[in-house]
Structure 1
Amino acid sequence: MESPWIIVTGASRGIGLAVARELLRDAAFRVVAVARDEAALKAAFGGSAGVQVVVQDVTDAGAGERLAELCPAAWGLVNNAGLAESAPLKQTDDDLLRRHMELNFYAPMRLTRALVAKGVRRVVNLCSTAALTGYPYVSAYAASKHALLGATRSLAREFAAKGVTFNAVCPGYVRTEMFERTLENIAAKTGLDRAGAESKLAQLSPQGRVFEPGEVAALVRYLLGPQAAGINGQALSIDGGEVAH
C-alpha cells in the first residue's frame, strides 16, 4: 500500500518545513509541499523522494481547486501558512486586519472547503496560544487565529459522522524565522539584546523555554495518522502549560 499524501502549506521554512520532514521520515507519508517561494522549496526538497513541490500563493481564490486537481487522492491537509505582525490598536488599520484574516483564516477555509470535497480525511490547522488567550499588541493576529479555531471546532462537529477530523495545534513561541523577527522587534522597541528578548518570551511558559519546530511536527504527524481517528475538534497546545485549563 502506498503512503498517503498530505498537503502542507507554508512548507518551505519554519514549522511547515519541520512538519513536511517529519511526515517524510520512514516514508510514512508523501507530501505536497506548498509555498510561494520556489527557490526556498527547491532548496528544502530538491531531489527528495515522496515530495511534490507546488509553488502557490494560498491566498489566491483558486488555490484550493488547483491543489485538489494536482493531488486528488490527498488524505490530509495541514494549514500552516500564516502571518504574525504586532501593532498597538491605533496602528491596527484595515490593511493589517485584512492581511491577517486573508492568510490566517480565509485561505485555510478555502483550501479546506475544496479539499474536503475531494476526499481529504484529516485537517490540522496551525493556530497558536493566541487562539486561546490574549496577548498585547497582536489583536489582528489573535482575531484571525480565534476565527480559525472556531471554524475547526464547528467543522469537527459537522463532519464527525463522516469520519473526517479537524484539529488545531496551538504552540507557544517556537524557534523559527518568525520567532527571530519577533526577537528583533522586541530588541528594537525595548533596547534588550537578543538573549534578553528571548528570555522574556521564554518566561511566558511555565517550563521557561521556547519550543522547537520538531515538537510541533511530531504532534501534527500523530493527528494525521489512523491512530488519531477519535481526536476531533481539539485545540492541542504545545506551551509547557501556559494556557492550562
Structure 2
Amino acid sequence: MAVFVALGAFLMTLAGGFTAQRVTDRRHLVLGLAGGLMLGVVGLDLLPEALEAAGTEILGVPAALVLFVAGFLFAHLVERLLAHRHAAHGAGEDARPALSPGLRDGRTPEVGLTAAAAMVGHSAMDGVAIGAAFQVGGGMGTAVAAAVVAHDFADGFNTYTITSAYGNARRRAQAMLFADAAAPVAGAASTAFVTIPEHLLGAYLGFFGGALLYLAAAEILPEAHHAHPARSTLLCTVAGVGFIWLVVGLAG
C-alpha cells in the first residue's frame, strides 16, 4: 500500500520539474519562486519536524538546531571549496572563476548536483516516512502521504531549478528530476526491510534544512534579483512561502 501511495509523489514531483522547464524564459521568476518554496519548506516543514524528532540537546541546544547550523556551514564550505578549485585551474594568472572550464556563468555545476542529490535523499526519507506511517496505521499513513504528495510538486520544481541554475545541461537536470521522483517509491519500499530510528531522521532533517537554507538565501534569491530586481520576483518568493504554508496547514 505504501509503495502504491508513493507513486502519487512520483507523479507530483515530475509535474513540478516539468513546470520549471516550461518557464525558462522567465528565469528570474522561476528562481524567485524556487527560493520562496525552499524557504517555506525549511522554516515551516523541515525544521519543525526535525525539532520534534531529534529530541536530544547538545550543550543545552536542541540537536536539530546544531545540525541545522552545521548543514548551513557545510553547504557554504562545499561551494567555496569547489569555486576555489575551479578558479585555481583557470586559464592564466588573471583568469576569473567565471572563465574557468568548470564554471557556467560563474556557477559551479557540482554545487547544483550536490544540492539536487540532497533533495533526492530528502525525497527518499519522505518515502520512508510514508512506509513507517502505514506501519503505525492506515489513518496515519494517509495523512503523511497527503502531506508528502502535496509538497513534492515543490521538490520537483526545486530539484530541476537548482540543477540547471548552476550551469548543468538540461539532460543532467532531467536525470536528477527523475531520480528525485523515484526516491519516495524506493524509500517506501525500503520500510518493508528497515526501520530508521526517529532521532536519526530528525538529525538528518535538521542538517538538510540548513544546507537548503544556505542555497536559498545565499545563492538562489540573490541570483533571482540580480538581473531582474522586479516586484514580480519578490511576489513570486512570497507566493512560494505562502504555498508551502498552505500545504503544511492543510496537511496538519
Higher RCO structure, 1 or 2 (CA under 8 Å, sep 6+)? 2
Name the structure with the higher strand share. 1
Shorter-chain TM-score category? 0.3 to 0.5
TM-score normalised by the chain length of structure 2: 0.34
Q: Which one has the largest radius of gyration? A: 2
TM-score normalised by the chain length of structure 1: 0.35
